[in-house]
Amino acid sequence: DAKTTQPPSMDCAEGRAANLPCNHSTISGNEYVYWYRQIHSQGPQYIIHGLKNNETNEMASLIITEDRKSSTLILPHATLRDTAVYYCIVRVRLSGSARQLTFGSGTQLTVLP
């Protein structure tokens, strides 16, 4: 199973872009990369996912390197409410289309005023 490596913590100034890196050097060719976040003791929240191309939605952008061994989640204008633990995840296939989210320890992002 592909594993991910993230820095344990990062700080970011409010209003600036937050760039969260993730290494997934053992990812297979057909595995997607997912990002979730968990705001203090709440249930995790989906942010974005991607396979090869860069992706953008209303929450964030995802940049995946050409060799797919790493990716970066970008929060373009971080706010205090973005303070959370961010998880980079490669899903593990279960039966049928069910997928297990394999959570590591994540990156604690603290947005500073």
Partner 1 sequence: NAGVTQTPKFRILKIGQSMTLQCTQDMNHNYMYWYRQDPGMGLKLIYYSVGAGITDKGEVPNGYNVSRSTTEDFPLRLELAAPSQTSVYFCASSYSQGPEQYFGPGTRLTVT
Site residues (vs partner 1, CB under 8 A): 32, 34, 41-46, 49, 87, 94-106
Q: What is the dihedral of CA 63, 19, 105, 40, to 10 degrees?
A: -120
- Quick one: 41 or 53, whose CB is closer to partner 1? 41
> Taking Cα atoms as reference points, which of 84, 83, 102, 107 lies closest to residue 7?
107
Q: Residue 96 or residue 113: which is nearer to partner 1 going by CB? A: 96
Instruction: Please tell me the distance from the alpha carbon of residue 49 to that of residue 53, in angstroms, as a whole number.
Output: 10
In sequence order, the β-bridge partners of residue 20 are 73
Q: What minimum distance in Å lies between the beta carbon of 54 and partner 1? A: 16
**Minimum Å distance from CB 29 to partner 1?**
17
At closest approach, how far in Å is the CB of 89 from partner 1? 9
User: 21 or 44, CB closer to partner 1?
Assistant: 44
Residue 24 CB contacts under 8 Å (≥ 6 apart), including other chains? 2, 3, 4, 5, 33, 68, 69, 70, 71, 88, 90
Minimum CB separation from partner 1 for residue 16, in Å? 27
The residue among 14 and 23 lying less far from partner 1, judged by its C-beta, is 23
